[in-house]
Amino acid sequence: MLIQIQDYLSLDSSEAIASPVFWYSLAFTFILFIAWWFLRLGKTELVSVFSDEEGAVQITPQALRELVRKSCSSIPGVHSPATKIYKKSKVIRLLVRLRVEPDCKVKEVRSQLREKLEHVMIENLNFSNFGGVDVIIRGFQDPK
């Protein structure tokens, strides 16, 4: 087996690429990369809310998304919110993508959403590292 490896290492680049061993190892590396990516995708990273002498409080990203969804449901003219959570040097920012009705006043919607989320996250949950909310309008929805 050692002789076979030495023979393969002595090949020039065009012969090595034509060899099935090259393609098998490339496919195996690709499969390992995809498996590693899926494992990292499934890993939920907890978001730190605050910490004191009694211990730390953390929240899951799914709970934060649910909080934004419920806050948006009480604002008229807002539909289908999707949230991404960004952490930059321990500061949490929320990027909320939503659909609005065509006659909706976007500036008021942004203010209402920001006020509701700041109230819940800072006053109720005691978030010590909340950095704010960014809103992206991803489309318009007909009023129901």
Give the Cα separation of 139 and 98 in Å (integer). Answer: 7
Average pLDDT (60-71) is: 90
d(CA 45, CA 72): 24
Do 77 and 101 form a contact (C-beta atoms < 8 A)? Answer: yes
Confidence (pLDDT) at 35: 93
Averaged pLDDT, 45-56: 84
Q: Are strands 91-100 and 130-140 parallel, antiparallel or unpaired?
A: parallel
pLDDT reading at 31 higher than 70: yes
pTM above 0.95, yes or no: no
Which helix (DSSP H) or strand (DSSP E) does residue 11 occupy? Answer: none
Given pLDDT bands bounded at 50, 70 and 90, which one contains residue 144? Answer: low
CA 130 from centre of chain: 16
